[in-house]
Amino acid sequence: MTALLVISALLLIASGGIKLRVGARTGLGVPPLSLVELLAGVGIAASALTGDPTVESGFRLVLGGVALVLVSSVHMGMKLATRRRERDDSEGVRLFKYVKYLSPQTPKDDPPQLL
């Protein structure tokens, strides 16, 4: 049971760390569920290494850890999808303004050129 708890703790720590890094790189700030994942991973690792947990308590810890990873991943995915939509919308507006700026307003404003 100790090995399973250590593996789930490492999963929580790795998942929380990756989500913190992604949040920092994309400008989303510090996701609170990622911090909870890190703390839960450290707590599970500490409880697994300091004492011999029973099968029932170990199962509950592993199940809670997996549920936390799942909820945190869905939450982070929703935030990233919203961010991606906002970025795509703003890029479309900027491209439209750029093309509008470069194109002539009316055909009479652009005199024909002789070759």
Q: Where are the domains of the chain?
A: 2-101
Q: What's the pLDDT score for residue 2?
A: 87
- Whether the CB-CB separation of 61 and 47 falls below 8 Å is answered with yes
Of 30, 21, 111, 19, give the one whose Cα is nearest residue 69.
19
How many whole angstroms separate alpha carbon 59 and alpha carbon 53? 10
User: CB 22: neighbour CB atoms within 10 A?
Assistant: 15
Residues of the chain with pLDDT under 50: none
Q: What's the pLDDT score for residue 27?
A: 85
How many whole angstroms separate alpha carbon 64 and alpha carbon 72? 12
How many whole angstroms separate alpha carbon 10 and alpha carbon 56? 20
Q: What's the pLDDT score for residue 74?
A: 96
